[in-house]
Amino acid sequence: MRRKLVVGNWKMHGSRAAIAELLAGLQRQLPPLSGTDVAICPPFVYLAWVSERMPEKVVLGAQNVACETQGAFTGEVAAPMLQDMGCHYVIVGHSERRSLFGETDAQVSRKVELALKHGLTPIVCVGETLAQREAGETLAVIGAQLDAVRGFNGIVVAYEPVWAIGTGRTATPDQAQEVHAFIRGRLDVTETQILYGGSVKADNAAELFTRPDIDGALVGGASLNADEFAAICRAAE
């Protein structure tokens, strides 16, 4: 039986004041959890500060990792550093990284390799654009993104249709389930947790989680609100 996993991706949001309020809200509102793991991924600069103020039972993750482990790579943050600061997870290949910063499948593969080597669990994001979906290319696109990380054990996969991220337009539970089942078949590993991401909110999470291959959520906007995020965690549990 796979555990559920709910991950908050804070993206480039927050200040110490706003984060302190969010953490206090999570501490108050997260339900007792037995079958669900919860992680939060703050911006790099706040990792250390957040790690000293973590709500009970929540673990820390980062939003990106470098393709190298040390050296002259100005502005980059390496996997051993994330491990050193207490990170458990790292998001790799988010569609914003792919589309805005030109991240390639080869880089995603390298990041996954380094994350695993340094004790981090990579959350590998895959997903199609609206044009790709409308052209009937969804499974081909996702298959190619997955091929870059085949053979690695111990990853989490997040299916995030690009057209659903930050748009308020969620994939229907059936649309998501279809892709999740495809991903599971392609990976050949039944224990891999496959998360759905893209406008997950308190009011659509429960139905998504009823589908057999949806093992949790990668949550952007709604993870900045303690009520919403706690409600999504309750739905997973």
Helical residues (DSSP H) of 102-195, grouped into ranges:
105-117, 130-134, 138-147, 173-187
Cβ proximity of 151 and 113 under 8 Å: no
Is residue 24 a contact partner of residue 54, using CB atoms and an 8 Å limit?
A: no
- The candidate with the shortest Cα–Cα distance to 105, out of 152, 42, 170, is 152
Question: Could you tell me the two tokens for 8?
Answer: 């908050």
CB of 54 to ligand PGA, least distance (A): 20
Q: Which of 157, 165, 231, 233 binds ligand PGA (CB under 6 A)?
A: 165
83 or 223, CB closer to ligand PGA? Answer: 223
**Between 72 and 100, CB nearer to ligand PGA:** 100
Query: How many whole angstroms separate alpha carbon 131 and alpha carbon 218?
Result: 23
The answer to whether residue 218 forms part of the interface with ligand PGA (CB under 6 A) is yes
Q: Beta strand 87-92 with 216-219: parallel, antiparallel or unpaired?
A: unpaired
Is residue 112 close enough to count as binding ligand PGA by CB under 6 A? Answer: no
- Please give the structure tokens belonging to residue 65: 């990792």
Q: Does residue 50 bind ligand PGA (CB under 6 A)? A: no
In the set 96, 103, 128, 160, the catalytic residue is 160
Q: How far is CA 183 from the centre of its chain?
A: 15
Can residue 42 be called a binding residue for ligand PGA (CB under 6 A)? Answer: no
Q: Which residue in this structure is represented by tokens 């673990």?
A: 59
191 tagged catalytic: no
Q: Which is nearer to ligand PGA, 30 or 164 (by Cβ)?
A: 164
In the complex with ligand PGA, the residue whose CB is nearer, 92 or 219, is: 219
Candidates 35, 119, 151, 166: give the one binding ligand PGA (CB under 6 A): 166
For residue 219, state whether it binds ligand PGA (rule: CB under 6 A): yes
**Is 160 a known active-site residue?**
yes
Q: Contact letters (x/-) for ligand PGA, 178-217, by CB under 6 A?
A: -------------------xxxx-----------------
State the helix-helix crossing angle for 138-147 and 173-187, rounded to 10 degrees: 40
Helix (H, G, I), strand (E, B) or coil at 18: helix
**CA pseudo-torsion sign 100, 229, 60, 39:** negative
CA distance 151 to 164: 28
8 makes contact with ligand PGA (CB under 6 A): no
Give the nearest distance from C-beta 34 to ligand PGA in angstroms. Answer: 25
What's the min distance (Å) between Cβ of 17 and ligand PGA? 22
Interacting residues with ligand PGA (CB under 6 A):
9, 160, 165-166, 197-200, 218-222
